[in-house]
Amino acid sequence: MVAAERVKINTFLDLSGHTAGVVQGDPYNEAFRSIIANLNVQCQFVEFSSYEQVLEALHHGWIDAGVLDHLKLGGVTLPDGEVITPIIFSPVTLRVAQPEGSDPRFLEAVDYHLARLKKTPGSAYYQLLEKFFDK
């Protein structure tokens, strides 16, 4: 989630009385609305057709926060006055697949190299985690 720095959003409860931009048909839209409803937070939703439109609306001050895919934010430099909030929800598992009948050594190589990267502090794996998830 991204927010205007002026609103200080650190938890779902901080969204009370604010507007949040969401993308129509996005699975995070549904998950976010469900969490907000379960917490009984009074938040107004504004739907957009893309993450880019959510960011533009946030930049212009039309909304206070925006629900975005964290992977989309990895390469985005936010303008002054906009921040990535500590709110992360609805995590997903990423998997690598290949067509049936393909050489199994490909997935074996992916598994091997990923395991090595995870065992090495400061590796490209951890650099990307820091870039994309600010960890």
Give per-residue pLDDT as tens, 78-116.
777 888 787 878 877 778 899 999 999 999 999 999 999
Please choose, from the candidates 121, 128, 100, 98, the residue with its C-alpha nearest in 3D space to the C-alpha of residue 111. 98
Phi, psi of 52 (to 5 degrees): -60, -40
pLDDT score of 135:
43
CB-facing half-sphere around the CA of 106: CA atoms within 13 A: 8
Tell me which residues of the chain have a pLDDT lower than 70: 71-77, 132-135
Tell me the three state secondary structure of residue 78.
Answer: coil
pTM for this predicted structure: 0.70
